[in-house]
């Protein structure tokens, strides 16, 4: 089971809140720092360690998903770090998810569906910010 969530840093409350919680309603788009949490069963593949500009992250992951659909391989670099995220097809319905030293072979369809769903949820929420 793959679980993906977006956490936004609230600059006034100095804490992270999960996307969709009421604490985030007063934020402005230029204040959006945060992280993407990705778990495969009990294994955390992404989390707070990969904190960054959340708009940048989801924009680039969205582009990665398009690239992956065409080429079955995609990658992105995190801003200002030597950290790379890689998605690579490794067989029938299998995808290598690699970020830094973390790598795991995941069920491709489930992972792509979860990434698309959370990406769409993020950009839908972002459009509602004033």
DSSP state of 75: E
Residue 3: what pLDDT? 96
Give the CA angle between residues 64, 72, 123 to the nearest 5°: 25
Residue 81: what pLDDT? 79
Residue 31: what pLDDT? 65
Q: Total structural domains in the chain?
A: 1
User: Tens digits of per-residue pLDDT, 30-70?
Assistant: 668 899 999 999 999 999 999 898 999 999 999 999 999 99
DSSP one-letter string for 75-90: EEE-TTSS-EEEEEEE
Range(s) of the domain holding residue 13: 2-128
CB 38 within 8 A of CB 71: no
Residue 29: what pLDDT? 59
Find residue 84's DSSP bridge partners.
Answer: 77
Residue 97: what pLDDT? 97
Residue 32: what pLDDT? 83
């Amino acid at each position: 089971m793959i679980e993906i969530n977006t956490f936004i840093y609230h600059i006034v409350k100095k804490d992270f809140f999960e996307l969709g919680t009421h604490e985030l309603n007063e934020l402005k788009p230029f204040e959006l720092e945060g992280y993407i949490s990705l778990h495969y069963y009990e294994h955390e593949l992404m989390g707070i360690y990969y904190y960054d500009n959340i708009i940048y992250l989801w924009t680039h992951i969205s582009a990665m998903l398009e690239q992956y659909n065409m080429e079955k391989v995609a990658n992105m670099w995190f801003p200002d770090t030597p950290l790379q995220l890689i998605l690579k097809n490794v067989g029938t319905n299998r995808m290598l998810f690699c970020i830094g030293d973390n790598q795991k072979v995941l069920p491709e369809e489930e992972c792509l569906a979860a990434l698309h769903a959370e990406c769409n949820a993020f950009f839908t929420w972002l459009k509602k910010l004033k």
